[in-house]
Amino acid sequence: MSGNTQSAAVPLTFRRFKDGDHKWKDWHAKIFVADESHKCPTYIQSTPPCQGSCPSGEDIRGYLNIVRGVEKPPLGPDGKPKMTWQEYAWRRLTQANPFPSVMGRVCPAPCETGCNRNEVEDHVGINSVEHYLGEWANEKGLKFVAPEKKTGKKVAVIGGGPAGLSCAYQLALRGHDVTIFDEHEQLGGMMRYGIPGFRTPRQVLDAEINRILELGVQTRLKCRVGTDVTLDELKRDFDAIFLGMGAQAGRALPVKDAAAPNVVTATAFLRAFNDGRLRYVGKRVVVVGGGDTSIDVATVARRLGAIEHAKPTDFQAAIAGHMAHDVAEISVKQGAEVVLTTVFPVDKMQANKHEVEQALAEGIDIRGSLAPVGIVRGPDGSATALRVAECEAKMVGGRLEIKVKEGTEHDIPADLIVSAIGQAVDFTGLEVFDNGKGAVSADRNYQVA
């Protein structure tokens, strides 16, 4: 959405000034006219680094100019502004991204890393401005404006996460009829079933999702494309299909024979928590990861707390879909001891720095440069500890290389082990899109042949 209308692709081939042009004729001119120039500067409009760093392509310069009062809301026939500056700025922001309130809370804000102002003292608080505008719009009940004309084209969107919802929003604004298919009961994808509610409060999420639906977007919930409805049916009934399936399949621990009732993946763990099935954890929880997901798992585990006599099979049951945790209400919960291991040193782990600080403040024990090498089991087959070894890890050509140091193996006792080492697309019923690397191959226009 950034307005880069001109580019410097053609290099300048002439010299505008001769040598010595910058020299003043006398000292009077040098002192009193030094900051003026008769020469015409060359303006090239480029994408500001903040905008260039925003994955959503927000017009950050545009809405910050409105917030600063540089650009005013347009005037109505009565000479008064048609809307407040907050609404005007929110409308500019949401041209690209319909989720300012959610992004204001969870976006790691690469725009701020890219901000020029870092060269001077600190970045502009773009994420906070976005958060404020989103909250303001929710409080005032602002709506998007539906187009007057319809195109008559129908688009099926597979997946009701932020990608699918944003796509539906942009298409609906352009007058297309959109239907979102999602296997869950509710829309939101990982914003609802992954990120815990204390980070994305559900009323905020619902407000921003409902605003999109009010544009006339239809939904088919609890409907998995590939099993409940086939891809061929969608191809028959719609003019185009958008693939927004996200990455639902959690990766199991990369150790031999990792299956045990109390060894689970982060996606399964968080989904059980967000559905309300998981209501307590074991006394000692070990999370393997280092990214944002592992921090969410660790903080959820810490906040849930443990009950005495929790059985390893309780976690398996909760994750399989049983609401067998009423015992949590009658038992006194204790704090869970949560250890988070990462293959990188703690100061180099992938998670957002402020998330790491938050986790440490909540009492999570983060141990760096440790690789999981095995599961230690009790007589009933359930895990009693995670075996780890010291390691050196580095990224080589986009691939993670881990060198384990022989003789440094040791065990971290655990009642529950959660693997938060990444996710992959679940292609069940849609195998035709699987490029063999757990992802979909698309051309330079993001089209799938």
Which residues contact ligand FAD (rule: CB under 6 A)?
106-108, 158-164, 181-184, 189-191, 194-195, 224-226, 244-246, 248, 270, 292-293, 296, 426, 430
Per CB under 6 A, does 301 bind ligand SF4?
no
Instruction: Please tell me the distance from the alpha carbon of residue 304 to that of residue 148, in angstroms, as a whole number.
Output: 49
3-state secondary structure of 233: helix
Contacts of 365 (CB under 8 A, 6+ apart): 337, 338, 339, 340
The pair of structure tokens assigned to 414 is 């655990």
- Contact characters 24-63, ligand SF4, x per CB under 6 A: ------------------------------x-x-x-x---
| Closer by beta carbon to ligand FAD, 182 or else 337 | 182
| Closer by beta carbon to ligand FAD, 88 or else 169 | 169
Instruction: Please tell me the distance from the alpha carbon of residue 254 to that of residue 38, in angstroms, as a whole number.
Output: 68
DSSP string, 51-115: HHH-TT---HHHHHHHHTTSSPPPB-TTSSBSS-HHHHHHHHHTTT-S-HHHHHHH---HHHHH-
Nearest distance from residue 418's CB to ligand FAD, in Å? 11
Instruction: Please tell me the distance from the alpha carbon of residue 218 to that of residue 156, in angstroms, as a whole number.
Output: 10
Instruction: Return the residue of 64, 66, 89, 126 that touches ligand SF4, per CB under 6 A.
Output: 126
Distances from the Cα of 299 to the Cα of 19, 30, 203, 369, angstroms: 64, 63, 21, 20
Instruction: Return the residue of 66, 67, 89, 109 that touches ligand SF4, per CB under 6 A.
Output: 109
Instruction: Return the residue of 64, 103, 204, 349 that touches ligand SF4, per CB under 6 A.
Output: 103
The residue written with tokens 């129908």 in the block is: 154
- From the list ligand FAD, ligand SF4, none, partner contacted by residue 195 (C-beta under 5 to 8 A by kind): ligand FAD
Instruction: Please tell me the distance from the alpha carbon of residue 86 to that of residue 84, in angstroms, as a whole number.
Output: 5
| Closer by beta carbon to ligand SF4, 51 or else 419 | 51
Instruction: Return the residue of 66, 102, 111, 300 that touches ligand SF4, per CB under 6 A.
Output: 111
- From the list ligand FAD, ligand SF4, none, partner contacted by residue 110 (C-beta under 5 to 8 A by kind): ligand SF4
The pair of structure tokens assigned to 275 is 């559905």
- From the list ligand SF4, ligand FAD, none, partner contacted by residue 127 (C-beta under 5 to 8 A by kind): ligand SF4
The DSSP bridge pattern shows strands 423-424 and 249-250 to be antiparallel
| Closer by beta carbon to ligand SF4, 107 or else 310 | 107
Q: What is the dihedral of CA 233, 234, 237, 241, to 10 degrees?
A: -160
| Closer by beta carbon to ligand SF4, 59 or else 415 | 59
- From the list ligand SF4, ligand FAD, none, partner contacted by residue 356 (C-beta under 5 to 8 A by kind): none
Instruction: Return the residue of 127, 341, 369, 423 that touches ligand SF4, per CB under 6 A.
Output: 127
Instruction: Please tell me the distance from the alpha carbon of residue 150 to that of residue 311, in angstroms, as a whole number.
Output: 57
Instruction: Please tell me the distance from the alpha carbon of residue 371 to that of residue 383, in angstroms, as a whole number.
Output: 17
Of residues 68-97, those binding ligand SF4 (CB under 6 A): 97
Nearest distance from residue 246's CB to ligand FAD, in Å? 2
- From the list ligand SF4, ligand FAD, none, partner contacted by residue 126 (C-beta under 5 to 8 A by kind): ligand SF4
Identity of the amino acid at 171:
L
Judged by CB under 6 A, the number of residues near ligand SF4 is 13
Per CB under 6 A, does 66 bind ligand SF4?
no
| Closer by beta carbon to ligand FAD, 183 or else 337 | 183
Nearest distance from residue 411's CB to ligand FAD, in Å? 27
Phi first, then psi, for residue 155 (nearest 5°) are -125, 135
HSE-up of 388 (CA within 13 Å, CB side)?
24
Q: Which residues bind ligand SF4 (CB under 6 A)?
A: 54, 56, 58, 60, 97, 103, 107, 109-111, 126-127, 130
